[in-house]
Homo-oligomer: A and B are copies of this chain.
């Protein structure tokens, strides 16, 4: 079983391919160690970390010592380094206090419970969406792998499409946004050309909600409606319901769109 440590893969948005990075120094290296440390929920020994960062042992040792001193890291019973309570407290407290979350948490819970599916809130950041809040339903045997702070390409998610639909009004705008690089294909359904995307955005604009019919992951579909936290015209982000296709096909989600809007409306006024 999970004895020692689990050096996982699959992470990171773009920048830091930790291992062989261009030799970071000083504080940057300490921060890189912190980020690497987060990848080992079971803890990691100094030598393992040394290998992962391929840096001399004393350097890593100092970095870890520094992290421990500030409470951002801790050592478990076996002497392995793990993320510290202080870091977790920091992150969760900050998260709980963020205005967008306090205003959406209850709505997301209601949605997750009502539909027994995962509810997300996410914002647009360039060509990707960033998940800012997430509520899982209760009993679910399967769980979404999404994580707060995690990302997905905007063009193949319901949230991305509904947010893009209000920004990319013309075919030219869509083409400019798509830019040189082709859109990543995630599934056979993914829309990978500016033309397809433009069509989809037109439709999204008309109906006022975005859908993702297994365009990001086979077997999962999604419906998203925009959320206006600041301006009444510019959405700050969008809320989505992600469902397993076999249990709740995209048609069922579309049929529920009014119910979703009701939940959002009622828990918005609740605070207003």
Interface flag for A46 (CB, 8 Å): no
A-B contact pairs, 11 of them (CB 8 A): A13-B86, A27-B66, A30-B31, A31-B67, A41-B99, A85-B149, A90-B149, A92-B148, A93-B147, A93-B149, A96-B147
Q: Which residues of B contact A151 (CB under 8 A)?
A: 85
A26 to chain B, nearest CB (A): 7
Question: Does B41 contact A88, Cβ atoms closer than 8 Å?
Answer: no
Q: Quick one: which of B2, B97, B109, B150 contacts A89, CB cutoff 8 A?
A: B150
Q: Which residues of B contact A109 (CB under 8 A)?
A: 138
Q: Which residues of B contact A41 (CB under 8 A)?
A: 94, 97-99
| Stretch binding the partner chain, chosen from A68-76, A176-184, A255-263 | A68-76
Q: Quick one: which of B26, B38, B113 contacts A90, CB cutoff 8 A?
A: B38
Q: Which residues of B contact A162 (CB under 8 A)?
A: none
Q: Which residues of B contact A89 (CB under 8 A)?
A: 147-150
Interface flag for A15 (CB, 8 Å): yes
Q: Which residues of B contact A254 (CB under 8 A)?
A: none
Question: Does A35 contact B86, Cβ atoms closer than 8 Å?
Answer: yes
A46 to chain B, nearest CB (A): 17
Knowing that A90-B149, A106-B139 are A-B contacts, what are 11 other residue pairs whose CB atoms are under 8 Å apart, sorted by A's residue number?
Answer: A2-B99, A28-B69, A32-B70, A35-B71, A35-B86, A38-B90, A87-B149, A88-B149, A90-B91, A91-B149, A93-B147
Question: Does B149 contact A70, Cβ atoms closer than 8 Å?
Answer: no
Residue of A13, A15, A34, A67 contacting most chain B CB atoms (<10 Å): A34
Closest-by-CB residue of B relative to A89 is: B149
Q: How far is the CA of A263 from the CA of B72 in the complex (A)?
A: 33
Considering the complex, which residues of chain A in the window 1-43 have a beta carbon less than 8 Å from any beta carbon of chain B? Answer: 2, 13, 15-16, 26-28, 30-32, 34-35, 38-39, 41-42
Residue of A83, A91, A98 contacting most chain B CB atoms (<10 Å): A91
Question: Does A88 contact B148, Cβ atoms closer than 8 Å?
Answer: yes
A228 to chain B, nearest CB (A): 15
Question: Does B91 contact A87, Cβ atoms closer than 8 Å?
Answer: yes
Question: Does B26 contact A70, Cβ atoms closer than 8 Å?
Answer: no
Interface flag for A49 (CB, 8 Å): no
Interface flag for A63 (CB, 8 Å): yes
What sequence of 0s and 1s flags, for each residue 47-73 of chain A, a beta carbon within 8 Å of any chain B beta carbon?
A: 000000000000000010011011110
Considering the complex, which residues of chain A in the window 87-121 have a beta carbon less than 8 Å from any beta carbon of chain B? Answer: 87-99, 106, 109-110, 113
Q: Which residues of B contact A85 (CB under 8 A)?
A: 125, 130, 149, 151
